[in-house]
Amino acid sequence: MGLKYRRILLKLSGESLMGPQGFGIDSLKLQHYAIEIESLVKLGAQVAVVIGGGNIYRGLQAVESGIERVQGDYMGMLATIINGIALQGALEKCGVYTRLISAIEMKEVAEPYIRRRAIRHLEKGRVVIFSGGTGSPYFTTDTTAALRANEIDADILMKGTRVDGIYTADPEKDTTATKYDKLSFANVIKQDINVMDMTAFTLCRENDVPIIVFDINTVGNLVGIVQGEEIGTLVS
Ligand code: UDP
């Protein structure tokens, strides 16, 4: 079966890793993502993952506790590496070949980021996990996802969330909210819809990288999207 998207960049937020305890890493969640990613690899898709760190630390948190923003951001980036190691472990348990890459050099645990090398891993069928964000403060892992999606020439940026797409209003607060199946980049801007932060969004828009916002917790969604099913909201 032909795949609609062959090379994908999956953005997994740190928050998506935390379970009911609301902090840290939940092993069942981790296992769920690993199994979903494994199915994608079995289909023949090339998978890169950008992992967030919000389940452990966010730079903005630092400011509240008297730590400087830049230092807080580095703490946040290190948190993504912790998550990256955890995801790598879970994928390896499923028998998936992986490479953990860090934008902040940490050669004992992760490869440094070398674009051509990362692409080579993808071509060989290895799941590439990008950790450490962009390596620079003042950015987010959404922006990292947009940046890496462009750099590796991904067919799609898949943003996994708790809701099944983009709505006219917050569906967790407004019961009359309805879901968009498709949106243009221009309409997202015109209607001031928050898909990703502006830096991330602009990177995708300027370089025509489509974004799919979808529910990451529903089994089979990742595979369905890659096979061309209409799941979530497509921004293109
Ligand atoms: N961060 C950063 N530069 C980057 C990516 C991330 O400084 O390129 C820091 C930032 O402080 C951020 C934290 O790392 O709050 C964790 O990332 P993020 O909040 O994007 O994680 P997510 O929301 O996806 O869990």
Sheet containing strand 46-51, strands side by side: 111-112, 98-102, 127-131, 46-51, 7-12, 156-161, 211-215, 233-235, 182-183
What pLDDT does 111 receive? 98
Helix residue ranges per DSSP H, 46-192? 59-64, 69-93, 115-123, 141-151, 185-190
Residue the block writes with tokens 């008297």: 66
- The C-alpha R_g of the chain, in whole angstroms, comes to 17
Q: Which ligand 1 atom minimizes the distance to the CA of 135?
A: 8
User: Token pair for residue 114?
Assistant: 């070398």
Between CA 171 and CA 164 the distance in angstroms is 10
Give yes or no for residue 77 CB within 6 A of ligand 1. yes
What pLDDT does 22 receive? 85
What pLDDT does 53 receive? 96
Give yes or no for residue 131 CB within 6 A of ligand 1. no
Q: What is the pLDDT of residues 146-185, one digit of tens each?
A: 999 999 999 999 999 888 999 988 888 888 999 999 999 9
User: Token pair for residue 86?
Assistant: 């955890």
Give yes or no for residue 15 CB within 6 A of ligand 1. yes
- With the CA atoms of 11, 7, 226 and 209 taken in that order, what torsion angle do they form, in degrees rounded to the nearest 10? 70
Q: What is the pLDDT of residues 103-152, one digit of tens each?
A: 999 999 999 999 999 999 999 999 999 999 999 999 999 999 999 999 99
Q: What is the pLDDT of residues 1-28, one digit of tens each?
A: 689 999 999 999 999 999 888 889 999 9
Q: Which ligand 1 atom minimizes the distance to the CA of 15?
A: 25
Give yes or no for residue 46 CB within 6 A of ligand 1. no
Residues 166, 134 contacting (CB under 8 angstroms): no
Mean residue pLDDT across the chain:
94
Q: What is the pLDDT of residues 183-202, one digit of tens each?
A: 999 999 888 888 899 999 99
- Domain spanning 7-235: CATH superfamily: Acetylglutamate kinase-like (3.40.1160.10)
What pLDDT does 227 receive? 96
What pLDDT does 1 receive? 62
